[in-house]
């Protein structure tokens, strides 16, 4: 589809946004046609989310001029932005937790009968919206009862339901399985063909080549280039993002494997997973591969004590931990990096150093008063190792870009010097360079004798990191593959293979 004939839906001219200590967007020109999918890429902290928040009306102090459908507008509040037809799906999910899916989907426009909400109508409308994203959930379920990937799809349905003329998606696929990504791409194509302008932020370059018509690259708050997707290669994009050629890809090192630090026997949580047996040893990185809904995160949550097992035992370094709370398990050296950094991971309103030290402080305090100086020093070293930017420990975590929040979360678990660390989607939302840093850090942990479990939907990541990969399907372990057997293709095939259990 040649979108040029539909005209420009959006024109941002010389726009800028400054935070107290940072220029996040610096004199950027950005144009999007109606009926095109326009990818926006750049390293963590490049300014992508800020540029889009500007469009969504989050700031009343931006500089420059914005035109929507050729009309000059001042997008100084979210309601003004909405009134011009701008729909935004945020990088960090924004669904309200305790209320129902339907109320979330229809927030602000619930159907009414006199003074009251028309429940039947609400359910019917919500069902219709859910169907647009291929979900068949009961609209009356509270949002806190659905999984992260379902929540992501609900969020998309919610915004699409307001019929925006410009739709912004900030890393919409980071919580989705392969099949759901396909479904989302279908939805995007359909929306584009109705003449909607779609801005799509992602660190996943193959996705961009599949769905974008054009791509804009940002670096250090500035626009580097805008290109038609046929006129550019993956390598060229990466080079523009980082301003130099990429470092050589890191190779897996192997190290001696020691005693079993985590032993799971016959573990079940009814309805989620059944009869799981697993041993993870010192120095070992075990990958868990599976489609979303296979039970991977639920297993991790039971091991670390967020959820209860119905059967089975968990032993940490020789000590049964089944009866311990999560906090007690953390004290013994069991860490869990969640796939959902906002809900269970970081406290966005408190400072970086407190976030980093939040898991280790109870242990440092044991008996004696906790040594604040030592804590700051440790936090500082982790910020350096993980190249978290900005480096100022007094900043609140919410000030960091998405990828830097992810690194901060990893720092928090590194700080406890874990015996066993379970990482659920460790490089979600991070750029190429940050991913490498995260992988190096995971490698260091194993080298220094931790037992590591990596749950990931990113197959190259599993191949690169794992000593062996366990395939999980519909709540069962269906296959174990050694490092030399693992490739992207073999894992994908195994994860999709039906096995009698
Ligand atoms: N609320 C805030 N207060 C202060 N600085 C901020 C705030 N939000 C973002 N920044 C800074 O602005 C810059 C741009 O951040 P932004 O979130 O736009 O990056 P991004 O390109 O979306 O990165 P990512 O890929 O990691 O999500 C970063 O240097 C970031 O630290
Ligand atoms: Mg961002």
51 Cα nearest atom in ligand 1: 18
Residue 38 Cα to ligand 2 middle (Å): 16
Q: SS3 of 59, please? A: coil
For 145-161, the DSSP string reads: GS-HHHHHHHHHHHHHT
405 Cα nearest atom in ligand 1: 26
Closest Cα to atom 27 of ligand 1 = 402
The pair of structure tokens assigned to 303 is 């091991």
Cβ neighbours of residue 490 under 8 Å, at least 6 residues apart? Answer: 481
Radius of gyration of the chain (CA): 23
Residue 24 Cα to ligand 2 middle (Å): 11
Please give the Cα distance from 150 to 138 (Å, whole number).
Answer: 12
406 Cα nearest atom in ligand 1: 26
Per-residue pLDDT of the chain (501 residues; tens, 9 = 90+): 445 667 999 999 999 999 887 899 999 999 999 999 999 998 888 999 999 999 999 999 999 999 999 999 999 999 999 999 999 988 666 666 678 999 989 988 889 888 888 999 999 999 999 998 888 899 999 888 887 778 888 988 999 999 999 999 998 877 677 788 888 899 999 999 999 999 999 888 888 999 999 999 999 899 999 999 999 998 888 888 877 544 444 456 677 889 999 999 999 999 999 999 999 999 999 999 987 778 999 999 999 999 999 999 999 999 999 999 999 999 999 999 987 766 566 777 788 888 888 888 877 765 556 678 888 999 999 999 999 988 999 998 888 888 899 999 999 999 999 999 999 999 887 887 888 899 999 999 999 999 999 999 888 899 999 999 999 988 999 999 998 888 877 887 788 777 655
Q: Do 466 and 442 contact (CB within 8 A), yes or no?
A: no
What's phi and psi for 390, nearest 5 deg? -70, 165
Residue 50, ligand 1, Cβ within 6 A: yes
Please give the model's pTM, rounded to 2 decimal places.
Answer: 0.71
Identify the H or E element spanning 253. Answer: none
Helical packing angle, 148-160 and 119-132, nearest 10°: 100
Helical packing angle, 148-160 and 178-193, nearest 10°: 0
For 456-500, the DSSP string reads: -S-HHHHHHH-SEEEEEETTEEEEEEEGGG--HHHHHHHHT----
Query: What single DSSP character describes residue 6?
Result: G
b vs e for 360-376, b when ≥16 Cβ sit within 10 Å of the residue's Cβ?
beeebeeeeeeeeeebe
* Probe residue for ligand 1, chosen from 18, 22, 39, 172 as the CB with the greatest number of ligand atoms within 8 Å: 22
Comparing C-alpha atoms, which of 100, 96, 9 is closest to residue 55?
9
Closest Cα to atom 24 of ligand 1 = 44
Please give the Cα distance from 56 to 82 (Å, whole number).
Answer: 7
Query: What single DSSP character describes residue 487?
Result: -
Q: SS3 of 198, please? A: strand
Q: How many residues does the chain have?
A: 501
Q: How many CB atoms lie within 10 A of CB 194?
A: 10
Looking at all shown ligands, the one closest to residue 203's CA atom is: 1
Query: What single DSSP character describes residue 23?
Result: E
b vs e for 444-456, b when ≥16 Cβ sit within 10 Å of the residue's Cβ?
ebbeebbbbbbbb
Q: Domain spans of the chain?
A: 3-242, 260-495
CATH architecture of the domain formed by 260-495? 3-Layer(aba) Sandwich (3.40)
Q: Do 441 and 386 contact (CB within 8 A), yes or no?
A: yes
* Probe residue for ligand 1, chosen from 40, 49, 55, 216 as the CB with the greatest number of ligand atoms within 8 Å: 49
Please give the Cα distance from 91 to 368 (Å, whole number).
Answer: 41
Please give the Cα distance from 219 to 204 (Å, whole number).
Answer: 16
Closest Cα to atom 20 of ligand 1 = 45
The tokens 């791409």 sit on which residue? 185
Please give the Cα distance from 262 to 305 (Å, whole number).
Answer: 14
Cβ neighbours of residue 5 under 8 Å, at least 6 residues apart? Answer: none
Q: Quick check: do 3-242 and 260-495 share a fold?
A: yes
Please give the Cα distance from 344 to 332 (Å, whole number).
Answer: 19
C-alpha distance from residue 457 to each of 177, 200, 218, 338 (Å): 7, 20, 26, 14
Residue 168, ligand 1, Cβ within 6 A: no
CATH architecture of the domain formed by 3-242? 3-Layer(aba) Sandwich (3.40)
Residue 19, ligand 1, Cβ within 6 A: yes
């Amino acid at each position: 589809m040649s979108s040029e004939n539909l005209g420009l839906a959006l024109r941002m001219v010389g726009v800028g946004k400054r935070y107290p200590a940072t220029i996040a967007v610096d004199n950027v020109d950005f144009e999007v046609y109606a009926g095109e999918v326009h990818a926006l890429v750049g390293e963590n902290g490049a300014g992508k989310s800020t540029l889009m928040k500007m469009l969504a009306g989050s700031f009343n102090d931006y500089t420059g001029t914005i035109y929507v459908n050729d009309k000059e507008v001042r997008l100084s509040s979210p309601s003004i932005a909405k009134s011009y037809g701008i729909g935004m799906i945020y990088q960090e999910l924004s669904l309200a937790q305790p209320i129902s899916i339907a109320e979330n989907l229809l927030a602000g426009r619930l159907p009414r009968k006199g003074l009251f909400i028309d429940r039947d109508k609400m359910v019917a409308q919500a069902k219709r919206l859910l169907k647009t994203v291929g979900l068949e959930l009961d609209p009356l379920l509270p949002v806190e009862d659905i999984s992260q990937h379902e929540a992501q799809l609900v969020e998309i349905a919610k915004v699409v339901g307001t019929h925006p003329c410009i739709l912004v998606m900030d890393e919409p696929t980071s919580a989705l399985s392969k099949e759901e990504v396909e479904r989302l791409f279908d939805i995007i194509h359909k929306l584009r063909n109705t003449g909607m302008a779609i801005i799509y932020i992602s660190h996943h370059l193959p996705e961009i080549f599949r769905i974008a018509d054009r791509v804009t690259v940002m670096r250090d708050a500035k626009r580097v280039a805008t290109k038609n997707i046929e006129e550019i290669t993956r390598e060229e994009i990466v080079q523009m993002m980082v301003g130099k050629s990429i470092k050589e890809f890191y190779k897996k090192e192997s190290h001696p494997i020691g005693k079993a630090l985590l032993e799971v026997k016959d573990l079940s949580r009814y309805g989620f997973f059944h009869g799981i047996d697993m041993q993870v040893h010192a120095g070992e990185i075990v990958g868990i591969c599976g489609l979303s809904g296979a039970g991977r995160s639920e297993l991790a949550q039971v091991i670390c004590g967020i959820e209860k097992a119905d059967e089975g035992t968990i032993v940490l370094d020789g000590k049964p931990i089944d009866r311990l709370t999560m906090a007690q398990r953390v004290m013994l050296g069991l860490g869990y990096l969640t796939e959902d950094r906002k809900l269970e991971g970081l406290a966005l309103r408190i400072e970086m150093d407190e976030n980093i030290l939040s898991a280790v402080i109870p242990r440092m305090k044991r008996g004696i008063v906790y040594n604040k100086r030592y804590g700051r020093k440790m936090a500082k070293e982790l910020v350096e190792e993980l190249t978290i930017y900005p480096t100022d420990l007094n900043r609140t975590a919410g000030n960091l870009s998405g990828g830097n929040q992810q690194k901060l979360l990893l720092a928090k678990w590194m700080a406890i010097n874990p015996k066993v660390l379970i990482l659920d989607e460790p490089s979600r939302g991070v750029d190429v360079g940050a991913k490498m840093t995260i992988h190096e850090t995971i490698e260091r942990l194993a080298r220094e004798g931790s037992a590591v479990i990596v749950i990931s939907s990113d197959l190259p990541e599993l191949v690169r990191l794992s000593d062996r990969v366990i395939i999980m399907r519909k709540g069962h372990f269906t296959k174990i593959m050694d490092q030399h057997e693992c490739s992207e293709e073999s894992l994908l095939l195994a994860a999709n293979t039906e096995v009698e259990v």
